[in-house]
């Protein structure tokens, strides 16, 4: 099993969710986050006072998937989240040791 | 037909009465009574009651939201409180001694009124001021007295001690506002010179702007000023506040005519177009110099245009009002974005940069724009553009010196006795919870 974390542009969230549903992903977790990468921040001006906004708002989504679905998941996120402009985000993949569904006690891929 | 008949009979009756009266020698008392009855004008009175409520809307919620949106979220309630409570406290002081010091005659009548009208003694529901009940005049002027100190609050927002603020403003209203108001509108030296200040350029805006500048300098900068982000926490509030100020300003300016007449109409159109021109002037400046026109810029421009037209609104023409609005917002934009930074004071919400600077532009600018060749109403007897300019400059000078010196002394006394600022820890935490024990927003 794999654990996929993706940082995406906030307005792309709906498209990414739809793309993941289409390939059979049954649940995702979404968090509003702030951060910076190559896009860096931007400046805002208030009556001449200039403030550098270092951290830009992004959405972080987390998906636990079976290893055989991983390729499709990465592809789906990549295709639906891309704009081609700086700041599109990143996808991180980690091994996932164990999963347990709290309600039924199922474990492993059955619990996904 | 019925109507015509009744009109005829009414005319006949009036005629008969007139003939009857002409044969009776009226006693002097009767004449006096008739004159008094004739002087109340219900149209004027109705308008002035409305105008008074419009000025109240300017202050709360207008000014409170305009300022509140500009501070950080941890200080939102503190600013709302400062405006709300200042407005209330000054209302009470106005009745106790403020009105008397501003509008009664006193032993030092060139500078300040006396105490003969303290507690509004002697004023009743039958008292008349011009064509309106005196209580309406008292309440209308009360809103000016209550609004002006609330303007000053913006200069030291986010760091002043609430109790010290109230003590300062109570003293300031008594020792600065009331005398200046008397000098300009109560028959004191500024009005004797022939200075024009229709709705409060010197009394309200220059006065508040100078006190704000002195306050910002004496209190010192906010902790982290220039290093940490102090970006406004809610510009939509600021936009709503500015819009309420704009709408309420019709009460302020048009109401200052104290009547619903032709001049009121001139003041109305001038107020509207000066505000609009101020918006355009400010955002064009931003567009040219920084690349993007901003909502805060638009709101700031509107207030700037309104401030500038305040002293001038009854003496310039609509084109003059547009010119005044644009020129004021260009100069105020420079004051807020360059002058403040080069002088290094922290006037949190730019009270001096907007009210002080645009007030001065309006007070001086009207001496040019009131010329009848430029669409204005023309100069008074024996006055010319040059002499009017000199008189306006003198009236500004008196206001700046009086307000500056007295404000400085008051701030220093309070600083030594009560302290002006909250502790560093309280300032860091935010005044909402540390001064008022509540928070504006819960997540």
Chain A CB contacts of B297 under 8 Å are 47
User: Mind listing the pLDDT tens digit of every residue in chain B (443 residues)?
Assistant: 344 444 444 444 444 444 444 444 445 555 555 554 558 999 999 999 999 999 999 999 999 999 999 999 999 999 999 999 999 999 999 999 999 999 999 999 999 999 999 999 999 999 999 999 999 999 999 999 999 999 999 999 999 999 999 999 999 999 999 999 999 999 999 999 999 999 999 999 999 999 999 999 999 999 999 888 899 999 999 999 999 999 999 999 999 999 999 999 999 999 999 999 999 999 999 999 999 999 999 999 999 999 999 999 999 999 999 999 999 999 999 999 999 989 999 999 999 999 999 999 999 999 999 999 999 999 999 999 999 999 999 999 999 999 999 999 999 999 999 999 999 999 999 999 999 999 999 87
From the list A45, A48, A51, which residue is nearest B229 (CB)? A51
Separation CA B77–CA B71 (nearest Å):
10
Task: Return residues 152-181 of B near A (CB < 8 Å).
Answer: none
Q: Which value, to the nearest 10 degrees, does the dihedral of the CA atoms of residues A73, A78, A80, A85 take? A: 170
In CATH, what number does B42-436 get?
1.10.3430.10
Chain A CB contacts of B294 under 8 Å are 45-46
Please report which residue ranges of B153-261 form alpha helices under DSSP H.
162-172, 178-185, 189-192, 207-219, 235-255
Chain A CB contacts of B229 under 8 Å are 51, 53
Using alpha carbons only, give the angle B250, B252, B254 rounded to the nearest 5 degrees.
Answer: 55
Among the listed residues B144, B146, B148, B150, the one whose alpha carbon sits nearest the alpha carbon of residue B185? B144
Q: Convert the pLDDT of each residue in A49-75 to its tens digit.
A: 888 888 899 999 999 999 999 999 999
Give the confidence band of A12 by pLDDT, cuts at 50, 70, 90. very high
Chain B CB contacts of A48 under 8 Å are 336-338, 340-341
Q: Is B339 on the interface with A (CB under 8 A)?
A: no
Q: Is B290 on the interface with A (CB under 8 A)?
A: yes
> What ipTM score was computed for the predicted complex, to two decimals?
0.71
Question: How far off is chain A from B424, nearest CA to CA, in Å?
Answer: 23
Question: How far off is chain B from A37, nearest CA to CA, in Å?
Answer: 21
Mutation for A interface: B283, B337, B343, B353, most A CBs within 10 A: B337
pTM: 0.85
Write out the DSSP string of B107-176. Answer: TTTTT---STTGGGTT--TT-EETTEEHHHHHHHHHHHHHHHHHHHGGGGTTTB-HHHHHHHHHHHIIII
Residue B337 to residue A47, Cβ atoms within 8 A: yes
Size of interface A-B (CB pairs under 8 A): 27
Tokens of B441: 């927003």
Residue B231 to residue A48, Cβ atoms within 8 A: no
Residue A45 to residue B340, Cβ atoms within 8 A: no
Task: Return residues 293-322 of B near A (CB < 8 Å).
Answer: 294, 296-297, 300
DSSP B291: S
Q: Is B231 on the interface with A (CB under 8 A)?
A: yes
Q: For residue B215, what are the CA distances in angstroms to A24, B160, B268, B272, B408?
A: 65, 10, 33, 31, 7
From the list B294, B341, B350, which residue is nearest A45 (CB)? B294
Q: Is A46 on the interface with B (CB under 8 A)?
A: yes
- E strand or H helix at B14: helix B2-22
Among the listed residues B206, B95, B87, the one whose alpha carbon sits nearest the alpha carbon of residue B144? B87
Q: Is B338 on the interface with A (CB under 8 A)?
A: yes
Does the domain at residues A2-111 carry the CATH identifier 3.30.70.120? yes
Chain B CB contacts of A34 under 8 Å are none
Mutation for B interface: A34, A44, A48, A53, most B CBs within 10 A: A48
Mutation for B interface: A32, A47, A50, most B CBs within 10 A: A47
Separation CA A17–CA B383 (nearest Å):
75
Residue of B nearest to A54 (CA): B229
Mutation for A interface: B67, B69, B229, B303, most A CBs within 10 A: B229
From the list A46, A51, A53, which residue is nearest B296 (CB)? A46
Tokens of A109: 């891929």
Q: How many CB atoms lie within 10 A of CB B410?
A: 22
Q: End-to-end CA distance of chain A: give it in Å, rounded.
A: 9
């Amino acid at each position: 099993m794999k654990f996929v974390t993706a940082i995406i542009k906030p307005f792309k969230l709906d498209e990414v969710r739809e793309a993941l549903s289409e390939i059979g992903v049954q649940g995702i977790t979404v968090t509003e986050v702030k951060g910076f990468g190559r896009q860096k921040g931007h400046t805002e001006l208030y009556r001449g006072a200039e403030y550098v906004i270092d951290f830009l708002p992004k959405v972080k989504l987390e998906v636990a998937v079976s290893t055989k679905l991983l390729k499709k998941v990465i592809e789906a996120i990549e295709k639906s989240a891309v704009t081609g402009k700086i700041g599109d985000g990143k996808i991180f993949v980690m091994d996932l040791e164990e999963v347990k569904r709290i309600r039924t006690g199922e474990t492993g891929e059955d619990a996904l | 037909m019925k109507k015509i008949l009744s009109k005829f009979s009414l005319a006949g009756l009036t005629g008969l009465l007139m003939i009857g009266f002409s044969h009776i020698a009226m006693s002097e008392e009767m004449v006096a009574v008739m004159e008094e009855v004739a002087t109340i004008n219900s149209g004027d009175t109705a308008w002035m009651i409305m105008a008074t409520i419009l000025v109240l809307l300017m202050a709360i919620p207008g000014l409170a939201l305009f300022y509140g949106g500009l501070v950080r979220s941890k200080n939102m309630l503190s600013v709302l409180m400062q405006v709300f409570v200042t407005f209330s406290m000054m209302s009470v002081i106005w009745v106790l001694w403020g009105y008397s010091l501003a509008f009664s005659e006193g032993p030092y009548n060139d500078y300040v009124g006396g105490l003969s009208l303290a507690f509004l003694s002697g004023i009743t529901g039958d008292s008349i001021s011009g064509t309106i009940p005196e209580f309406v005049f008292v309440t209308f002027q009360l809103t000016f007295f209550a609004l002006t100190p609330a303007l000053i609050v913006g200069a030291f927002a986010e760091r002043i001690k609430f109790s010290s603020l109230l003590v300062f403003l109570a003293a300031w209203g008594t020792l600065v506002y009331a005398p200046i108001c008397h000098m300009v509108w109560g028959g004191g030296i500024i009005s004797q010179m022939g200075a024009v200040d229709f709705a409060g350029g010197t009394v309200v805006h220059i006065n508040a702007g100078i006190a704000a500048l002195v306050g910002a300098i004496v209190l010192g900068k906010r902790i982290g000023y220039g290093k940490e982000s102090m970006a406004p926490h809610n510009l939509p509030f600021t936009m709503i506040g500015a819009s309420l100020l704009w709408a309420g300003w019709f009460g302020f300016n048009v109401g200052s005519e104290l009547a619903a007449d032709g001049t009121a109409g001139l003041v109305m159109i001038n107020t509207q177009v000066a505000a609009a021109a101020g918006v355009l002037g400010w955002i064009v400046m931003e567009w040219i110099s920084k690349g993007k026109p901003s909502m805060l810029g638009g709101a700031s421009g509107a207030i700037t245009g309104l401030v500038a037209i305040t002293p001038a609104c009854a003496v310039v023409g609509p084109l003059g009002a547009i010119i005044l609005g644009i020129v004021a917002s260009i100069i105020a934009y420079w004051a807020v974005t360059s002058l403040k930074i080069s002088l290094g004071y922290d006037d949190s919400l730019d009270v001096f940069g907007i009210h002080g600077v645009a007030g001065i532009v309006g007070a001086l600018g009207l001496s040019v724009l009131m010329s009848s060749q430029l669409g204005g109403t023309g100069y008074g007897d024996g006055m010319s553009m040059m002499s009017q300019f000199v008189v306006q400059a003198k009236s500004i000078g008196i206001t700046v010196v009086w307000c500056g010196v007295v404000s400085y002394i008051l701030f220093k006394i309070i600083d030594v006795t009560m302290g002006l600022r909250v502790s560093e820890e309280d300032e860091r935490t935010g005044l909402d919870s540390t001064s008022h024990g509540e928070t504006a927003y819960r997540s």
